[in-house]
Chain A
Amino acid sequence: MVKIKQLYVMLLLVAVATSSCSVPKKTLLRYYSKNQTTLDGIEAAYKKLYAQRPFSLGFSDKEFNYVSVTVITDSLQYIYEFGPQEEARLADTLVKYKLNAQGVISLISKMRAMHCTWINTVDYYAADKPQFMIFLSARPVAFSAPFGYKKYYILAYFPEPQFFDEEGRLYASKRRRRLRKINNEVYSKINDRVCYTISENFR
Chain B
Amino acid sequence: MLTFSAPILMKFVIRRKYLSFGILLMLFCTSGVAVYSQQTWIKDTTQTSTPADAMAFINKIDSLPQSAYWSNIPPAMLLNNIRQNINHPLRLYEGISTNFCAYAALSYLVLHTNPLGYAQLMVGLYTNGQAKMEGVSFKPSEKIRQVAGTLRFKGALDIRPADQLWFLCLADHFKGYLNFFSRRYNKEGDEDRLWASVNYAKFNRMAEQLLNLRVEAAGSDLIRPWISDLYSYIHSRIGTGIVVLYLNNTFLYKKSHTTLKLGVPTHYVVLEKIEQDEDGLITVVYWDYGARSLRQVTPAFLKKIVFGVSHCIQKKQHG
Contact = CB atoms under 8 A, between A and B. Distances in A.
Interface stretch (B58-66, B115-123, B218-226, B249-257): B249-257
Contact of A178 (B152, B257, B285): B152
Contacts of B296: 80
Contacts, number: 64
Contacts of B255: 201-203
Given A180-B153, A183-B96, A77 B294 contact: yes
Contacts of B155: 122-125
B165 to A, nearest CB: 17
Contact of A62 (B153, B158, B257): B257
> Would you call the interface of chain B mostly helix, strand, loop, or mixed?
mixed
B149 to A, nearest CB: 12
A76 B92 CA distance: 15
Interface string B277-318: 000000001000001111110000000000000000000000
A79 B292 CA distance: 11
B97 interface: yes
Contact of A128 (B159, B192, B285, B291): B159
Contacts of B292: 75-77
A165 interface: no
Interface residues of B, number: 23
A184 B159 CA distance: 18
Contacts of A152: 256
B156 interface: yes
Given A78-B294, A183-B97, A184-B97, A172 B256 contact: no
A12 B285 CA distance: 52
Interface residues of A, number: 32
Interface in B131-181: 152-153, 155-156, 158-159
A139 B294 contact: no
B196 to A, nearest CB: 13
Nearest to A183: B97
A187 to B, nearest CB: 11
Nearest to A152: B256
Residue from the set B96, B153, B293 with the largest chain A CB neighbour count within 10 Å: B153
A100 B287 CA distance: 27
A128 B158 contact: yes
A164 B159 CA distance: 23
A182 B293 contact: no
Interface of A: 10, 60-62, 68, 72, 75-80, 117, 122-125, 128, 130, 139, 152, 172, 178, 180-184, 200-203
Given A76-B285, A77-B292, A130-B156, 7 more contacts: A76-B292, A77-B291, A78-B294, A152-B256, A178-B152, A183-B96, A203-B254
Q: Give the top 5 A-B pairs by smallest Cβ distance, nearest first.
A: A79-B295, A201-B255, A77-B293, A125-B158, A62-B257
Interface of B: 6, 96-97, 152-153, 155-156, 158-159, 189, 192, 253-257, 285, 291-296
20 contacts: A61-B257, A75-B292, A76-B291, A76-B293, A77-B291, A77-B294, A78-B293, A78-B294, A79-B293, A79-B294, A117-B257, A123-B155, A124-B155, A125-B152, A125-B156, A130-B159, A172-B152, A182-B96, A201-B256, A202-B255
